[in-house]
Amino acid sequence: MWLLVPRAGAAESVELRYRFASDQQLAYLVKVRQQVRLSSDLVAEAARTSTINSEAEMLQRVLAIRDGRARLQISLGSFRASQATEGLVHELRRVPEMEGIRLVVTRDEHGRVLKTEELGAEGREMRVRQVALAFARAQQLLTLEFPSRTVAAGESWQVERRVEVPLWSGRHLQLVMQGDYTLERLLPCRRQRCARISARVRITLAGRSDLGDIQLLADLQGSGRGRFLFGLDTGNLIRSECQTEIKGRLSAADGDERTATGVNLRIAVNSELVR
């Protein structure tokens, strides 16, 4: 739970703080739309576009609070998804094997993610474990991080995050996200005062990793924007809307042989507090 506390005598200046209540439970409806287009240097006609739409209930419960840090259990409740590839559509349906995936996340009072523990995916098939891993990385990237200073309407702050993106070999590439955040204004919503925050981000996924005899090279760049709504009285995230586009190339070299794949990925994530 985020709590924005107005400073005495400065109506438009607020502290952005992450506060918690013991055993507090929140539920969000999260909708994600992912569209990815892959193209090959070898066969131009092999380019394919795939779109995945998903809806999930995300549950958050405070497990423990200590020294301004909280351990939060974040889990997926009901999960539904649909997929369309080159015009072939699979309807939105319940995916029970995704339900019950959960994480334990440790955050400090400014929203920094200090640790993530992946739970609930052990023993499941590979695609379920991949979703769990993506879920964990998304928590690190999408969680808002706030400055220690007070912020007035119209003022901005910057955040940089570095997240390891795992490969099937056990190695990883590094994703860097740099964000500019602005407290746009204070406004009434849901019978309370709220704060609207906007974001613009830049994303880089670049580097190389050896996979046995194969060397993988990544050169992906992206940008995104978002808007967030917080309740000043309740201290809860009420709504968020984020859109991101990432473009670039993934290359694999095996001796003198080299192949390259063009990547264009668009992701839209909307979430809203439902209870």
The pLDDT of residue 250: 85
Share of the chain above pLDDT 70, in %: 80
pTM beyond 0.75, yes or no = yes
Please count the other Cβ atoms lying within 10 Å of the Cβ belonging to residue 257.
8
Q: What is the pLDDT of residue 128?
A: 64
Whether 10 has a pLDDT exceeding 60, the answer reads no
Give the dihedral of Cα atoms 119, 275, 26, 270; nearest 10 deg: 70
- Say what the pLDDT of residue 206 is: 82
Q: 102 near 72, Cβ under 8 Å? A: no
Summarised one tens digit per residue, pLDDT across range 185-226 is 989 999 988 889 999 999 998 887 776 777 888 899 999 999
Q: Is the pLDDT of residue 145 over 80?
A: yes
R_g of the chain computed on alpha carbons: 20
Q: Is 14 exposed, middle or buried (0-12, 13-18, 19+ CB in 10 A)?
A: buried
Is residue 145 a contact partner of residue 112, using CB atoms and an 8 Å limit? yes
User: What is the third-level CATH fold of 2-273?
Assistant: Lipovitellin-phosvitin complex; beta-sheet shell regions (2.30.230)
DSSP string, 143-204: S----SS-EETT-EEEEEEEEEEE-TTS-EEEEEEEEEEEEEEEEEETTEEEEEEEEEEEEE
Q: Is the pLDDT of residue 157 over 90?
A: yes
Predicted pLDDT of residue 16? 80
What does the pLDDT average to over 142-161? Answer: 90
Instruction: Please report the pLDDT score of residue 226 as a whole number.
Output: 94
Average pLDDT over residues 76-85: 84
Residue 227: pLDDT band (50, 70, 90) is: very high
pLDDT grade for 70, boundaries at 50, 70 and 90: very high
More confident residue, 95 or 228: 228
Q: Which has more pLDDT, 200 or 145?
A: 200
In the chain, what are the domain boundaries?
2-273
Nearest by Cα to 39 from 50, 27, 48: 48
- Which pair of structure tokens corresponds to residue 165? 């993106």
Average pLDDT of the chain? 82
CB of 242 within 8 A of CB of 1? no
Give the mean model confidence (pLDDT) for residues 79-83.
84
- CA quadruple 165, 32, 104, 196: dihedral positive or negative? positive
Predicted pLDDT of residue 137: 64
- pLDDT for 87 equals 62
